[in-house]
C-alpha cells in the first residue's frame, strides 16, 4: 500500500520540488524533462509480462541496465544533456528504492 505511494511520489512530486528549488526560472521545462525520463519505462514493453510488481527493473530491462545507467551518468558531464542525465538517474534511483522495498 505504501510502496506505490512512495514510488509515484518519487516519480512525480520530488521532481517538481527539485525543479522549483534548484531551477526556479525554468522549473516547468525541468519538470517536463523529469516526467519525460519516464519514457525509458517503454522498455518494459519488451518484457513478458509487461508489468510484474515483484520484478526489479534495474539490471533487467535494456534501458535500466548498467550500461544504460553508465550512459546516463556520462550525460551529467555535458551542459546540454546534464538535466536529462539527472532526470534519468533520478528515475533509476526511484526504481532502485522500489526494488529495496520489495
Q: Quote the least distance from Cβ 59 to Zn ion, whole Å.
A: 12
Binds Zn ion (CB under 5 A): choice among 30, 34, 88, 95 = 95
Q: Is 98 in the site for Zn ion (CB under 5 A)?
A: no
Q: Which of 57, 85, 86, 88 binds Zn ion (CB under 5 A)?
A: 57
Nearer to Zn ion, 31 or 90 (CB): 90
Q: Is the peptide bond before 49 cis (omega within 30 degrees of 0)?
A: yes
Distance from C-alpha of 69 to C-alpha of 53, rounded to nearest angstrom: 21
Instruction: Kindly state the smallest distance separating residue 95's Cβ from Zn ion, in Å.
Output: 4
Distance, in Å, from the CA atom of 35 to the CA atom of 11, rounded to the nearest integer, reads 7
53: Cα separation from own chain's centroid? 17
Kindly tell me which of 20 and 99 has the beta carbon lying closer to Zn ion: 99
Cβ atoms of residues 38 and 91 within 8 Å: yes
Cell numbers describing residue 86: 539527472
92 near 76, Cβ under 8 Å? no
Rounded to a whole number of angstroms, the minimum distance from the CB of residue 53 to Zn ion is 13
* 30 near Zn ion, rule: CB under 5 A: no
Residues within the interface to Zn ion (CB under 5 A)? 41, 57, 95
Amino acid at each position: 500500500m505504501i510502496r506505490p505511494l512512495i514510488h509515484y511520489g518519487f516519480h512525480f512530486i520530488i521532481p517538481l520540488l527539485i525543479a522549483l528549488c534548484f531551477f526556479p526560472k525554468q522549473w516547468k521545462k525541468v519538470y517536463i524533462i523529469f516526467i519525460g525520463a519516464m519514457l525509458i519505462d517503454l522498455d518494459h514493453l519488451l518484457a513478458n509480462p509487461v508489468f510484474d510488481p515483484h520484478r526489479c527493473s534495474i539490471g533487467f530491462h535494456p534501458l535500466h541496465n548498467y550500461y544504460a545507467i553508465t550512459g546516463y551518468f556520462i550525460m551529467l558531464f555535458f551542459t546540454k544533456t546534464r538535466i536529462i542525465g539527472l532526470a534519468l538517474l533520478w528515475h533509476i534511483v526511484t526504481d532502485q528504492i522500489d526494488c529495496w522495498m520489495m
